[in-house]
Amino acid sequence: MNEKLNYWLILIPLGVLGILALSCTAARAQNAPAPTADERAAAMAAMRERQNAMPDTPGTGAYPALKEVVPSLPEHVVYRPADLSKLGSRKLGLYIFGNGACSNDGASARLHLLEIASHGYLAIAPGNIRNGPGAVTTPEKPRAPGTQDDPAKLPTPPTTSADLLSALDWALAQNQDAGSPLHGKIDPKAVAISGFSCGGLQALQISSDPRVKTLIVMNSGIFKDSTMGINGINVSKDLLEKIHTPTLYILGGETDIAYANGMDDVERINHVPVYLGNLLGVGHGGTYWDANGGKAAAAVVAWLDWQLRGDSKASKMFVGKNCGLCRDPAWKFAAKLPRKS
């Protein structure tokens, strides 16, 4: 598989990549021909059908969660505790999430986002509900007149980092709106920006926003090769210098196509604390479609509780030689503190 194709695979919908990688690996192991285009298409269709059939889950936290499209934010999917009255005096933290492939399917990581929300967070992803319960089919928004892709780069995705910022703006406005069910229920100082693959690049694009308290980059990293890129997403390694918060990278081990880029990011970040968790063997598809978002979602919850709520118990997942991720054989974990001047 050549380097150019590797970058194109970043835009393949979540889950499909796993099928392609496994089928190609099996073919090599058995000295058999790689899957044909028709076989790959069939595998993609089968995976999408299985994902579409998966029910929403309320998460494992104290606040069973739901997803919804809110009229005042129609181009996003909102994940929140179903019964806001049960929060009591607890304030919602914010988790703004960029979709894999920067897609406009705001339900493409719904098990992950429902899990986060169930622990007392308001999670928002751009797009509509395009899989699972409540899925709708709506036409793509037309591209701006005169817009033309650079053929040397990957195609322009349907969402941008501005969609993440509009979600953040909306949530903070709702917190101030006396007529909103979210009025007074959000902690405006507890803001996390996150994203998967292409969505991780969107998160990096806006990580310098002063409202952001922490950054989580999942199965992603800025291209090492400056000749590669995605139309509409302007990122370079210089962007890493603008990160101003503790940062967590979650990668899928050496079989993750974002592995080299993400590892290089972490190597270059020296001015803020950066933590790196590699979930061994899961590849680029991560654990988004495991029950309740799997091990990655559990790690994200602990990170949010530590960084946004100052929870010392949650910090033990990441701190010390015997930290939770250090002892779990599913993870290869490292922490990197800023260099002293």
Look up the CATH number of the domain holding residue 327.
Answer: 3.40.50.1820
Read off the pLDDT of residues 314-326 as tens digits, 9 standing for 90 and up: 999 999 989 999 9
Q: Write out the residue range of the structural domain in which residue 165 sits.
A: 3-136+150-336
**H helices, E strands: number in the chain:** 10, 9
Residue 341 lies in a domain: no
pLDDT exceeds 50 at position 172: yes
81: left (phi over 0), alpha (psi -120 to 50) or beta: beta
Residue 7 lies in a domain: yes
Q: Mean pLDDT score of the chain, rounded to an integer?
A: 88
pLDDT exceeds 50 at position 148: yes
Overall pTM > 0.75? yes
Residue 300 lies in a domain: yes
Read off the pLDDT of residues 242-295 as tens digits, 9 standing for 90 and up: 999 999 999 999 999 999 999 999 999 999 999 999 999 999 999 999 999 999
Residue 141 lies in a domain: no
pLDDT exceeds 70 at position 158: yes
Structure tokens at 295: 């091990």
Query: In the prediction, which pLDDT does 11 show?
Result: 43
Specify burial of residue 130 (Cβ count, 10 A radius: 0-12, 13-18, 19+): buried
How many residues are present in the chain? Answer: 341
Residue 108 lies in a domain: yes
Residue with tokens 């899961």: 282
Residue 143 lies in a domain: no
Residue 39 lies in a domain: yes
Number of domain units in the chain: 1
Query: In the prediction, which pLDDT does 274 show?
Result: 98
Residue 192, strand partner residues: 95, 214
